[in-house]
A and B are shown apart, each in its own frame.
Chain A
Amino acid sequence: MKVLYFSWIKDKLGKSHEEIQVSDNVKTINDLITLLRQNNENYKDVFKDTSSIKVSINMETAKFEDSINDNDEVAFFPPMTGG
């Protein structure tokens, strides 16, 4: 699964994207976050308060309880500041 990071999330993790191997028990964005938190302290720090983070699945705004599968592109970012 391709996972992308933007803004301060990208800075804190030191990367803009990565490929993640997910097992069958990763069924939702919440499950993916639980998996990512296990990586290291930076991930733990980024995902400690998900109220300040937004997520998209295949470039569509999504919710943390939404289902995902291995071919999806998931992105994490703070609230948008366009315009």
Chain B
Amino acid sequence: MIKVQEEDFSLTDEITSLKKRCNNIGALSTFIGIVRDKREDEKLVSMTLEHYPGMTEKMLNKINTEALSRWDLLDTTIIHRYGKLLPGEQIVLVITASKHRKEAIESCHFIIDWLKTKGPFWKYEKTVDKGFWVDAKSQDLDEELKWNN
């Protein structure tokens, strides 16, 4: 299940919903991304996520399909928020469900790594007196590439 939305999400509700959708779950792995309260050493006031409506859903579906083809999964949930978020707010949720732990843990890690570099989102961070578009990190690209091996 994939959602791109402005509103917040509840981990508990999403786990309940995923469990209802499938049988024989032995393992659930979850990842939540959260807005930090600092940009380097400066206090962060807000982070606004811009995205490319249409392409976002397309890319999230592709990432999800890739995860389902690589691991034996029962179901997945990916929720990515956009718009203005405040420090401490949730940005993204990934849940993977499988019979055994290895598949759930690895696929959850894979999905968030690919979201970092293939999800058409751009982050704008505001401090008290300045605004910055966040640069992509070369480290994130390395993390993505490691899944090609």
Contacts and interface: CB of A to CB of B under 8 A. Distances in A.
- B contact face: mostly helix, strand, loop, or mixed: mixed
B58 A83 contact: no
Given A82-B92, A83-B33, 6 more contacts: A59-B58, A78-B136, A79-B141, A81-B135, A81-B136, A82-B115
A6 B116 contact: no
A29 interface: no
A10 to B, nearest CB: 8
Interface residues of B, number: 26
Interface of B: 33, 50, 52, 54-55, 58, 80, 91-92, 112, 115-124, 133-136, 140-141
Q: How large is the interface on A (under 10, 10 to 19, 20 to 34, 35 or more residues)?
A: 10 to 19
A60 B115 CA distance: 15
A80 B50 contact: no
Contact of B136 (A4, A60, A61, A79): A79
